Amino acid sequence: MFPSLDLNNATTKIEEETAETSTNGIGRCFLFDFQNGDFVLRDGKLVVVEDIDALKVWIEKILRTEKFKFKIYEKENKEDEYGISIKKLLAGKKYPKGFVESEIKREITNALIKHVEIDSISSFATNIEGIRINISFRVNLKDNRSFEQEVSFLDGN
* Stretch 2-17: mean pLDDT: 54
Helix, strand or coil, per DSSP, at residue 21: helix
Residue 20 lies in a domain: yes
Residue 50 lies in a domain: yes
137 vs 107: CA distance, rounded Å? 13
Total domain count, the chain: 1
Q: Identify the CATH number of the domain in which residue 49 sits.
A: 3.10.450.40
What pLDDT digit, counting tens, does each position of 52-62 carry? 999 999 999 99
Residue 1 lies in a domain: no
* Stretch 8-36: mean pLDDT: 64
Residue 78 lies in a domain: yes
pLDDT of residue 147: 96
* Stretch 36-60: mean pLDDT: 93
Residue 81 lies in a domain: yes
Find out whether 151 and 157 touch, Cβ atoms under 8 Å.
no
- Distant-in-sequence, close-in-space partners of 47: CB < 8 Å, separation ≥ 6: 30, 31, 39, 40, 41
Residue 110 lies in domain? 7-154
Residue 94 lies in a domain: yes
pLDDT of residue 133: 84
Taking phi over 0 as left and psi of -120 to 50 as alpha, with beta for the rest, 68 belongs to left
Look up the pTM and report it.
Answer: 0.73
- Identify the weakest region by mean pLDDT among 5-19, 44-58, 73-87, 123-137: 5-19
